[in-house]
Structure 1
Amino acid sequence: MTPKDITTLLKGAPASRRHFLIGAGTALAGISLSAPALAQSKEMTIISNIGNASQREVLQRIASEYEKVSGVKVTINNMDHEAHKTAIRSYLVVGAPDICFWFSGNRMKAFVKRGLFDDISDLFERENYKAVLGPTLNAVTVDGKQYGLPLGGLLWGLFYRKDVFAEKGWSPPKTINDLLGLGEQAKSAGMVPVSMGTKEMWPAAGWFDHMNLRINGLEKHMALMDGTMSYTDPAILPVFDKWAELINAGMFSANSTSSGWEQASAALAQKKAAMMDLAGFIKYGFPEGQQDQIAFTPFPQVVEGVARYEDFALNSIHVPKNAKNKESARDFLAYFYKPDNLSAFLETESAVPPRSDCPPSKDPLVNAAVESLKTVEGSAQYYDRDTDPDMAQEGLKGFQEFMAKPDRRDQILERLEGTRKRIFKT
């Protein structure tokens, strides 16, 4: 289980009770259909990698309503999530659909560089999406142009139990020193300060992302992700120095390499730990009757004056460059991306909407993330979404090793630098 496969995680999540119901009058309201789309073709195809049955149902319902108002026949082909990762590399070249689902960030960029996703900046201009997308705009932008629409996201940060903090009189940490102080209080109460399970490796990468974004900011973080910055750059050393300070202070679970994220979240649910660094899917580690006790707070400030940047991992939807009916595809996306429609689609998996004008969710953690995003200056994805897959694999190993043996910092960074030079050919 990794952040890049988080959609797979949500396949088994309980379906939301919120249903998408839209009347004919509502369906007609606010839709902008261009004449070329109707003249060009009466059919369009979508390839979906959605594993959540309730979400597939909502997508089909939106497509059916779109058919009624546009006269365009929409065919949705649902693929297995894992099989789609291989199939997309072929169908984008030969037999492309008019719309497909994928991932934003580095994974999108790989197809943009090969000329396989269409530039839809015109749709952004037409629908004024830049006004409502805020920091999520970066996730679908390459060289100032947009190549997809961001879908539901996962905002990463610190989670805790409201009842435990109320009972102990604790406050969510705003600075790294606050976090260290809270850690001492938690240990005095017989609790692990920060629950951590790195058996799957990726949770340690999330901690690295937070530390690097808080110390070096988004530009340097993305330079590292893009392979243009060295892992032995002097700017990277303070990240690991501060991280080692937390490790040596006993802030994390002992023997974290033997536990997965689910065991770590269970420790938080069972009041054995004070906090955990994760995203909203942490609720699936809690009994249903206790999920209302989960609270979110942003990762604390490490260096004063550094703007707040966050990991906001987003899936996305695209028009392939080789699509036959690009105008129809744009009109469908405009309809699908209306706040009510997008909200209904995302509600089934408790995903955080990228639009700031979507209706409130029934999930309080989603609403908390939406409010938190309003104060974010920019966003990254997540380590293994932002960098080359081979680089990510070595990075995940290195971060896991560092959490167990922080004294190996220099050897780990030298090894990662060797990998960076090989992969990015610098």
Structure 2
Amino acid sequence: MKDLTSRLTFAAPSRRQFIVGAGTVLAGAALSAPAIAQSSEVTIISNIGDAGQRGVLQKIADAFSKESGTKVTINNMDHEAHKTAIRSYLVVGAPDVCFWFSGNRMKAFVKRGLFDDISDLFEKEGYQKPLGQTAGAVTVDGKQYGLPLAGLLWGMFYRKDVFAEKGWTPPQTMDELFALGEKAKSAGMVPVSMGTKEMWPAAGWFDHMNLRINGLDKHLELMDGKMAYTDPALSPVFDKWQEMIKAGMFSPNHTSSGWEQAAAALAQKKAAMMDLGGFIKYGFPADQVNQIGYAPFPEIAPGLARYEDFSLNSVHVPAKAKNKQGARDFLAFFYKPENLGAFIEAESGVPPRNDCPPSNDPLVNAAVQSLKSVAGSAQYYDRDTDPDMAQEGLKAFQEFMVKPERRDQILQRLETTRKRIFKS
């Protein structure tokens, strides 16, 4: 964990009980508002896909407007389209506030001078204490360039009722996962549901395999461009992954399905397990969410400490924002523990600050409990490495899952990209 801008050693947050529930905190009069500058408008670009969470953000914005007299305009964008659009609007037509990702995805814009240094807000509001080590996810060279939002712990999800009915238990080792896969296929189910249309789910599988075989330090060396993609240390990762592909462990035609369709297959009892974050619940009918179970990704190298992907989203003030003070005022209001807690609760995220209200979501509580035994964490492949390297990696891992026989050519292509990007 040499680079705290994107990697965390997780200290499980303490969670104190709040008397005021999330439903009442959104009324502006119930809050002691921060000092708010009078200004005409604060514009926000949101990449939030869930309608429920968008609704919570709108309520917070409305409460802020009522309290301050400042108009707040929220422009919602498709999550995937936003990944491309942000590269343009941060340069021309920047909003006052935008949602993004922490770690190296954030750092790439910091290096280009496109995110504002908000260390003044951090100090004024005293965020360091409630955030602890999660502050590192938005810190570059000792300065803060955003506020961390919900954390997502990645792992293996399954239906508790299906496992109970069939007498299955979540696999703790790779051998047990293969054995479960055979049982699932005998029951007419896909062992591991996978949708790689957006490509990043395949990279998530690579993360878990590499963390379980090579550990965190080696994984971070690769993410930082200090290890070759042709390094022999990666051979067992792709050997085991190829073995799983050949064994029919993943969804057929997975390139035609997005993660939501893959999650729906798990919900519909067409698959046994799926590697994802807590937002998997959006693939389930609301009355079946309580059937979702969580288990850590299986052990591969016996005795290796447990490392996980624990990714944090973030919110920022663009360097070219027109109303930087208004943006800070809004963020101070938005980031009050009650408001932030209500916003995060809508997406089953793990709160970044330790004084948010306790969650009503058992998946969040399971993540908090599970994180207590994690030795350290990365974020996610396309957040931990250079964005241009990540784009090539996402394509490569998807291709490998379709044509594993192209492995040597794929890895050589990635190595050529690594040398060009990291100049080594």
Report the TM-score, using the length of structure 1 for normalisation. 0.80
The residue that corresponds to 2:158 in the other structure is 160
SS at match of 1:335: helix
Q: Which amino acid in 2 is paired with 1:156?
A: W
SS at match of 2:308: strand
Distance 1:373 1:348 in 2: 20
The residue that corresponds to 1:281 in the other structure is 279
Counterparts of 1:29-178 in structure 2, within 5 Å, are 33=35, 38=37, 42=39, 45-50=42-47, 52=50, 54-66=52-64, 71=68, 73-81=70-78, 88-89=86-87, 92-93=90-91, 96-133=94-131, 136-178=134-176
The residue that corresponds to 1:338 in the other structure is 336
SS at match of 1:358: coil
Counterparts of 1:2-401 in structure 2, within 5 Å, are 19=23, 21-23=25-27, 26-28=30-32, 33=35, 38=37, 42=39, 45-50=42-47, 52=50, 54-66=52-64, 71=68, 73-81=70-78, 88-89=86-87, 92-93=90-91, 96-133=94-131, 136-257=134-255, 259-323=257-321, 326=324, 329-401=327-399
Alpha-carbon distance change, 20 to 301 in structure 1, aligned in 2, over 3 angstroms: farther
Aligned partners of 2:45 and 2:95 also within 8 Å:
no
**1:287-326 deviation per Cα after TM superposition (whole angstroms, max 9, x unaligned):** 3433321111121232345443332343311123345665
Distance 2:89 2:328 in 1: 19
Alpha-carbon distance change, 84 to 191 in structure 1, aligned in 2, over 3 angstroms: closer
Alpha-carbon distance change, 393 to 214 in structure 1, aligned in 2, over 3 angstroms: same
Alpha-carbon distance change, 343 to 394 in structure 1, aligned in 2, over 3 angstroms: same
Q: Which amino acid in 1 is paired with 2:72?
A: T
SS at match of 2:171: coil
Deviation at 1:94, TM superposition (A): 6.0
Deviation at 1:84, TM superposition (A): 5.5
Deviation at 1:115, TM superposition (A): 1.9
Aligned partners of 1:135 and 1:378 also within 8 Å:
no
Aligned partners of 2:108 and 2:386 also within 8 Å:
no
Distance 1:256 1:100 in 2: 32
SS at match of 2:157: strand
Deviation at 1:340, TM superposition (A): 1.0
320-329 vs 194-203, greater mean Cα deviation: 320-329
Q: Which amino acid in 2 is paired with 1:27?
A: L
Alpha-carbon distance change, 339 to 419 in structure 1, aligned in 2, over 3 angstroms: same
Deviation at 1:132, TM superposition (A): 4.0
1:419 alignment partner, one of 417, 420, 423? 417
Q: CA RMSD in A?
A: 3.3
158-167 vs 129-138, greater mean Cα deviation: 129-138
Distance 2:131 2:372 in 1: 10
SS at match of 2:265: helix
Deviation at 1:263, TM superposition (A): 4.3
SS at match of 2:31: helix
Alpha-carbon distance change, 261 to 22 in structure 1, aligned in 2, over 3 angstroms: closer
143-152 vs 259-268, greater mean Cα deviation: 259-268
Alpha-carbon distance change, 261 to 43 in structure 1, aligned in 2, over 3 angstroms: closer
Distance 1:127 1:217 in 2: 37
SS at match of 2:413: helix
Alpha-carbon distance change, 340 to 375 in structure 1, aligned in 2, over 3 angstroms: farther
Distance 2:179 2:339 in 1: 44
Aligned partners of 1:138 and 1:379 also within 8 Å:
no
Aligned partners of 2:62 and 2:72 also within 8 Å:
no
**1:213-246 deviation per Cα after TM superposition (whole angstroms, max 9, x unaligned):** 2223334323323333211122222221232333
Deviation at 1:148, TM superposition (A): 0.7
**1:37-90 deviation per Cα after TM superposition (whole angstroms, max 9, x unaligned):** 65xx64562322255555444334334444565x46253342534775566445
SS at match of 1:75: strand
Aligned length: 401
Aligned partners of 2:279 and 2:347 also within 8 Å:
no
Distance 1:270 1:88 in 2: 35
Q: Which amino acid in 2 is paired with 1:114?
A: R
The residue that corresponds to 2:9 in the other structure is none
SS at match of 2:390: helix
Aligned partners of 1:163 and 1:293 also within 8 Å:
yes
Aligned partners of 1:44 and 1:74 also within 8 Å:
yes
Alpha-carbon distance change, 198 to 48 in structure 1, aligned in 2, over 3 angstroms: closer
Aligned partners of 1:353 and 1:370 also within 8 Å:
no
399-408 vs 295-304, greater mean Cα deviation: 399-408
Distance 1:404 1:90 in 2: 33
SS at match of 1:236: helix
**1:393-417 deviation per Cα after TM superposition (whole angstroms, max 9, x unaligned):** 3322322232234343322211211
Distance 1:409 1:85 in 2: 28
